[in-house]
Amino acid sequence: MGICDGRTVIITGAARGLGRAYALAFAAEGANVVVNDIGTSLGGEGRDTSAADEVVAEIIAASGKAIANYEDVTDWDAAGRIVEAAIAAFGDLHVVVNNAGIVRDRMFVSATIEEWDATMHVHLRGHFCISRHAVNYWRAKQKDGRDPGARIINTTSGAGLQGSIAQAAYSTAKGGIASLTLVQAAELGRYGITANALAPSARTRMTEQAFADKMATQGADFDVMDPANIAPAVVWLGSAESRDVTGCVFELEGGKIMIEDGWREGPVVDKSARWQPEEVGAAVERLLAARTPPRKVWGS
């Protein structure tokens, strides 16, 4: 018996790296898994369905239940078909793990509009489309008197929480996903749906390229950057046991589980009257001296 017995989960970008680790872990805990991946390159080019097929074969060989799906999460109608495929194959849907993403690293002064749009498209539109279709299904269940026990698990990033040099588009998209999670949690709880986000740090195609030295931990007693380290927390968030946890952003790395404190009001100076422009500088100096210093932007 696993903590996700009988639950059905869609995982986008599930053929490699973190998505693959999530798929295997969910299946090991009894979930029915939809392995969604169109098999693009790191930058979003090309198509290759074989990687998703391999993950499904691995799950089935271990006596798990899974199907492959090659639909594009950024296409509104295709995203609907992913949800339909999960229900057709397994009779229900409980969890959406939004993991698919691309990266187009570029210093801001060299960034192009095409790279910007492509990054926003995959991360923000991709998170929206499939979750929106899933919510339609879950809301209908709730209105029919059935508790959907549903979970949305989004993927933000340290880049989205604190910024990252040469990743303006990626950081912006991931920051937007963190905000989206807060809104989903606030709006969807009434329908029996929770929404949480992850900022995972692990070895993937993306991080091996950007942080090669940090990711090279394979020979250590504990491989801190093994993507399988992230999966247990994701599986728990997808289980019935996480019903009371929503609107949270978790940073995960190795054996660490950290919950983000989020944006909150800091020091304040109140004149109780309108400020003159020449007065503002001194007030800001006081605020800067009193605040908790922010984390540095990655790479700065």
Catalytic residue among 22, 174, 239, 242: 174
Measure CA 170 to chain center: 13
**174 counts as catalytic:** yes
Q: How far is CA 236 from CA 14, 124, 146, 215, in A?
A: 17, 24, 22, 25
Catalytic residue among 22, 131, 141, 157: 157
Contact indicator for 149, 94 with CB cutoff of 8 Å: yes
Q: How far apart are alpha carbons 119 and 126 in whole angstroms?
A: 10
Q: DSSP per residue over 22-40, as a string?
A: HHHHHHHTT-EEEEE----
Catalytic residue among 22, 131, 170, 171: 170
Q: How many CB atoms lie within 10 A of CB 38?
A: 22
Q: How many CB atoms lie within 10 A of CB 48?
A: 14
**137 counts as catalytic:** no
Q: How far apart are alpha carbons 46 and 39 in whole angstroms?
A: 7
Q: How far apart are alpha carbons 263 and 178 in whole angstroms?
A: 11
**157 counts as catalytic:** yes
Provide long-range contacts, Cβ within 8 A and 24+ apart, for 169-172: 169/104, 169/106, 169/111, 169/115, 169/116, 169/119, 169/120, 170/103, 170/104, 170/105, 170/119, 170/123, 172/119, 172/120
Instruction: Indicate which residues carry an active-site annotation.
Output: 157, 170, 174
